[in-house]
Structure formats: structure tokens, C-alpha cells
Structure 1
Amino acid sequence: MCQTVRELTRADMTSEMMLSLVREAVGQPETQVRCIITEELPTMVVLGAGPQGRPTSLAACAVHPDHVGLEYLAVADGLRGLRGLRGNGLGRLLLTAVARLGFCVIAETDDDAVGFYRRLGFRVTTAPEDPRWPGATRYRCVLDTAAASCAL
């Protein structure tokens, strides 16, 4: 699969595909998904792949002086006729682009994705419960791309 990661545009952010991708990333109701798109994503670096106005993936992150916080990551799988995108390296490609933004990448996730982060070399520890997902075990995943100390 040959995909190019790019910064997503306004046309991407207002697309139906963006709704689907954010819904996939957070598993929250439509009102919460729309709030994330209109209020949170404009304050972040949002990367993805796919045609203009029809992104097939997204990685949204906040760049801080000492780390990059990966807030949302999603690859379309069965969304609006798109099949077979997962498992073809697109998530790895997105994280490679995110890692270029800073020396340390920190993500929090649950049981569904912790194996993905481990396979990519992230150090995994338990994280505090997140009120958005009550009762779900959470993990903090840290990738230190410069072999420097990265605070958990």
C-alpha cells in the first residue's frame, strides 16, 4: 500500500469521513464527536492519508516542548465502502510522521490498541482511569525516538 501522510485540510476536517474516523477513534456519541472536531482538532496537528476531502486515516496530536501527545488515531476499516486499510502499515506510517514532530511520543489507549503500540516499540505502563471511558483499563504508551529520557 502506497500512502502519503499529509496535514489534513479544512475540507478534510468537515468531511463525513472525518466524522467516521473520530467516531472510530473515541467511540463516543455524535455530539461528542462533533465537539472534538470543532473544538479540539483545530488546536492540534492533524495528519492523515487519503484523497482531499475524504481522509482514510487520522493522527491528531498536541506538540509540547518536551513531548508530542497523540490524542486520536484512527484508520478507516469498513467505513463507507473502504475495506482492507487496517493491517497494511498505515497506522505505523502515521506514527512515523508523528514521531518526526518531537523526540518523545506519548499516547494513552485501552486493551483494543495496546498491542499495536507495543509492536511499534512503545514502552507500556498502566495509566489512571479516564472519565470518558469509566471502568476501562487504560495504558500509557511512550516512544522515545531520541533515546533520551521521556517522563511517564
Structure 2
Amino acid sequence: MSTRPTVRRLVGEDLASEQMLALMREAAGLPVVELRRIIAEELALMEVVGTGLQGAPTSVAAYVSRPDGVVLEYIAVAPELRGGGVGRVLVDALAGGAEPVVAETDDDAVGFYRALDFDIGPAPSDPRWPGRRRYRCVRRPLPERHVPRTAIPDDDVLL
């Protein structure tokens, strides 16, 4: 019997870890200098959740909550945990299933979003990844997905 991973807000110690750098490399595939900038500057403006012990995250989802839904900017799961449902748990946790979740991706990850019942359509090109086909992925809320979400203390459970 497997247990559902605990999703928590990631904090400074998590964001400064080598594990976070590795996860962001998986999520964005950019040079280390750019990844460090993203972690320091962009993630500071987003909500960032994940799994794993404090200081040693094993997954990350960075997103922005908007009035019309959630925009998922980055998501990654440690390679050894892929296929175990951690990515689904992260996506489910973002809005408690009550709001649309929107993400843009390329061929490398579009299958992940299809498996999670996202609607897939074309997206404009992204200058960070020139020459790559992009997709806009939208997961509409469904009544059976709704899990009420409460405020998340830094070291507490999201779901």
C-alpha cells in the first residue's frame, strides 16, 4: 500500500538546496546561471510547493494564482519518483481542483498533461526555447476533483 505524498510550501532552505537546482534543471532545462536567477527572482514572486524533507525537496510546483485560475510555471519530480503519482498530487493540490490550471509546455512534457486530463492546444513560441513546438494545457475543474484548500503554513500539509 503506497501513501499519498505530503505536499507542503517550499521555503528558503528548500529553494537554496542542490535538490531544488536539480529539479529546476528538469523543469526548465536551462543553464545553471539562469536557473539560479529563476530560483532567486522568479520563484520569489510565485507560490512554490513540493514534497520531500525540508532542505531536500523531491518535487516542485511553482505557480501563480489568478482570479480566473492557476498558472503553473514550473513542475518537476525527481527522476526516481516519476510514475508514482507525485506530479498528479502536485497538480491536484494547486487549486484544490476548484479552479482551472493552465500550463505551457513542449513535446517533452505534453504526455504528462494529457495523462492528467488537461485539454491540449497550440501555444505561441517561447524565446527561452527557440524552435520548440509549444502547447497550452488547460485542466478544467470538475466537481469530483474539488478538495477544499486551506491556508498552508510553511511546514504543514497542503492536502
Rounded Cα–Cα distance in structure 2 between residues aligned with 1:123 and 1:134: 23
Which ranges of structure 1 fall in alignment gaps of 5 or more residues?
78-83, 148-152
Q: Which residue of 2 aligns with 1:109?
A: 105
* 8 Å contact from structure 1 (residues 63, 102) kept in 2: no
Q: Which residue of 1 aligns with 2:135?
A: 139
Count of aligned residue pairs for this structure pair: 141
> Higher relative CO (CA 8 A, sep ≥ 6), structure 1 or 2?
2
| 1:15 aligned residue (1, 17, 29) | 17
* 8 Å contact from structure 1 (residues 68, 102) kept in 2: no
CA-to-aligned-CA distance 1:104-131 (integer Å, 9 cap, x gap): 1100001111111111110000101000
Rounded Cα–Cα distance in structure 2 between residues aligned with 1:33 and 1:24: 10
Rounded Cα–Cα distance in structure 1 between residues aligned with 2:85 and 2:138: 19
Q: Residues 36, 128 of structure 1: CA spacing in aligned structure 2 closer, same or farther, 3 A cutoff?
A: same
TM-score, structure 2 as length reference: 0.85
Q: 1:100 Cα deviation (Å)?
A: 1.8
* 8 Å contact from structure 2 (residues 125, 133) kept in 1: yes
**AA partner of residue 125 (structure 1):** G
**AA partner of residue 106 (structure 2):** D
Q: 1:99 Cα deviation (Å)?
A: 3.0
* 8 Å contact from structure 2 (residues 97, 141) kept in 1: no
Following TM superposition, where does structure 1 have runs of at least 4 consecutive aligned residues deviating by more than 6 angstroms? none
What is the alpha-carbon root mean square deviation over aligned residues?
Answer: 1.3
Q: 1:146 Cα deviation (Å)?
A: 4.7
* 8 Å contact from structure 1 (residues 105, 142) kept in 2: yes
* 8 Å contact from structure 2 (residues 101, 139) kept in 1: yes
Rounded Cα–Cα distance in structure 2 between residues aligned with 1:123 and 1:92: 15
Rounded Cα–Cα distance in structure 2 between residues aligned with 1:139 and 1:118: 11
